Structure 1
Amino acid sequence: MQLNFKIQGEGKPLLLIHGLFGSLDNLGGLAKVLAEHYQVYQIDLPNHGQSPRAESVDYVSQATAVKEFLDQQNLKQVTVVGHSMGGKVAMMLAQLHPAYLEDLVVMDIAPVNYQVRRHDAVLAGLNASMAQPILSRKDAEAKLAEHIVEPGVRQFLLKSLAKQEDGTFDWRFNVPTLEMHYEDITGWPEQGIFEGETLFLKGANSDYISGEHRADIERQFPHAKAHVIANTGHWLHAEKPDTVARVITRFLTNSER
């Protein structure tokens, strides 16, 4: 599989992995700041953006696709930074192929099986929008609004709405497969222990990482550090890209270890 990607900056390689319903552009603000010090690789995960579609979205499959990407780019020692679902992909890559990682940064997700469905309204809105051909972004947002209250969530999704050759619009993520295998995304098939240096970043106002996850994190990532980004939620990297980049850079340059 050939994942879609972009590169910017110079220096040691750093890979950014986006979350569910996202694309490489979602981490663009963070990438721009980090590219001042690193050669930053942004990828579209399978079933997202302009990367190929796949039949599965389980974390072993996604991590394998990322490992193949690293092989294609001849990257053997890379810092991996992942947000949300992308953080789980990064953690799985670390557990399955630890030799590829120099450092690991996980943004606002824990290595656990989440028992809550957070995206049913999003999936309902996306399915409503696809019930007939999408003729405009306005039409798509109107359908999304029937199910998704938060304007910010609708705008986030609309970033992945692309115009097709016939003039209609379509989503750049594979809605049927993501919905069919949603429990693979909320789940977590633990594969072992990663002994490398790891930083967990938590949005102070987010509940994706909580005290009850501490034992799971410490068991699987025994050298993990934690840092809370004040006044941010789950999208901490979008809310405070400069702060997040500074914390990551400080961690990678050993001053927080």
Structure 2
Amino acid sequence: MSESGPGRTRTDTTVHGVHVVLEGDPAAPPLLLIHGSGATGSTWAPVVPSLATTYRVITIDLPGCGRSEPASAYAVSQQADRTAALLDELGFGSLKVVGHSSGGYVATALVERRPDLVGELVLVSTGPSLAALLPEPAIFKVLASPLFGPLVWAMRTDLMVRRGLAATAVAPITVPDTAVADLRRTTYRGFRAILAANMDYITAGTVPERLIAAGKPLLAVFGDSDPRWDPAAAHQYEAVPGAELRYLRGVGHMAMLEDPDALVRSILDYTR
């Protein structure tokens, strides 16, 4: 489905089983937004209109999430390969890639496996190493339970979805209705498999270690009150040559929902 208006076009489609939305001037430089675990492309909704004034913004639902088809396996490398296939099909290269939370692992794997597709890299609230992980919120512990997790997932309401996202925020958030509907499409089995794959990836090597030799411009953005990953651990990214680190004041883990304007400014300001 395509829509158009003054100075912009919007296309909502599926490519190789991956749901993708493209918004902005088709001639503008491309920017890819990759969501984190248990989220979908629609969680980026508060920042897309502003970013689309400068970029051709591409948001995706990773395999097994939202409106994308389930996958047979969810290793981060496989998620990156599926993303690369989509970008190849659409004819994009040398993009600015923005990954939120574990979406930053997929973005990093994209750098590792297809460096030609990544021009600049922005990691938002992406835990740099397993040692930086803070104690899980109560809702995460429930969902991890083999006894109660599937039951809670099956019975979740729109309100529970909103509260689940708010559990890692420190500022009040408004979750778009479309995001709630898309989040409810994800299966519990897929969600748990994605979480496990993300832990495998970061256990095998920290994100800064993986990026040191990549030679890609890197901006790491962290909320200074992130309850999911130790904000001080974001300094680990300074090991990457030329990397820049920015903290968002009074922001937790969900920057695009807590302070979308500050996140947009960070992304737009960063150009190498």
Same fold (TM over 0.5): yes
Which of 7, 19, 26 does residue 4 from structure 1 map onto?
Answer: 19
The gaps in structure 1 that reach 5 residues or longer are 163-169
Which of 51, 70, 73 does residue 87 from structure 2 map onto?
Answer: 70
Tell me which residue corresponds to 1:242: 261
Shift of 1:176: 1.0
After superposing on structure 2, the runs of 4+ consecutive aligned residues of structure 1 that deviate more than 6 Å are: 148-151
- AA aligned to 1:128 is L
Tell me which residue corresponds to 1:177: 190
- AA aligned to 2:246 is H
Moved more, 44-53 or 170-179: 170-179
Q: Percent identity?
A: 22
- AA aligned to 1:127 is P
Which of 242, 253, 271 does residue 223 from structure 1 map onto?
Answer: 242
Alignment partner of 1:29: what SS? coil
Tell me which residue corresponds to 2:125: 108
Please tell me whether the aligned partners of residues 3 and 51 of structure 1 are also in contact (alpha carbons under 8 angstroms): yes
Alignment partner of 2:18: what SS? coil
Please tell me whether the aligned partners of residues 106 and 199 of structure 1 are also in contact (alpha carbons under 8 angstroms): yes
Please tell me whether the aligned partners of residues 153 and 188 of structure 2 are also in contact (alpha carbons under 8 angstroms): no
Shift of 1:186: 2.7
Report the Cα distance in structure 2 between the residues aligned to 1:175 and 1:204, rounded to whole angstroms.
30
- Provide TM-score, normalisation by structure 2: 0.75
Deviations along 1:110-132, one digit per CA (max 9) or x if unpaired, are 3323566732234557522455x
Q: Does 2:117 correspond to 1:94?
A: no
1:87-166, aligned counterparts within 5 Å?
87-113=104-130, 118=136, 119-123=140-144, 127-129=150-152, 140=157, 144=160, 152-153=166-167, 159-161=179-181
- AA aligned to 2:87 is L
What's the Cα RMSD here? Answer: 3.0
Please tell me whether the aligned partners of residues 56 and 177 of structure 1 are also in contact (alpha carbons under 8 angstroms): no
Report the Cα distance in structure 2 between the residues aligned to 1:212 and 1:239, rounded to whole angstroms.
21
- Provide TM-score, normalisation by structure 1: 0.79
Report the Cα distance in structure 1 between the residues aligned to 2:152 and 2:232, rounded to whole angstroms.
38
- AA aligned to 2:184 is W
Shift of 1:106: 0.3
Please tell me whether the aligned partners of residues 36 and 102 of structure 2 are also in contact (alpha carbons under 8 angstroms): yes
Report the Cα distance in structure 2 between the residues aligned to 1:204 and 1:97, rounded to whole angstroms.
31
The gaps in structure 2 that reach 5 residues or longer are 1-15, 169-173
In structure 2, relative to structure 1, the CA distance for the partners of 1:237 and 1:157 (3 Å cut) is closer
* Number of equivalent positions: 235
Alignment partner of 1:4: what SS? strand
Tell me which residue corresponds to 1:55: 72
In structure 2, relative to structure 1, the CA distance for the partners of 1:172 and 1:153 (3 Å cut) is farther
Tell me which residue corresponds to 1:197: 217
In structure 2, relative to structure 1, the CA distance for the partners of 1:223 and 1:96 (3 Å cut) is farther
- AA aligned to 1:196 is K
- AA aligned to 2:151 is A
Report the Cα distance in structure 1 between the residues aligned to 2:57 and 2:163, rounded to whole angstroms.
34
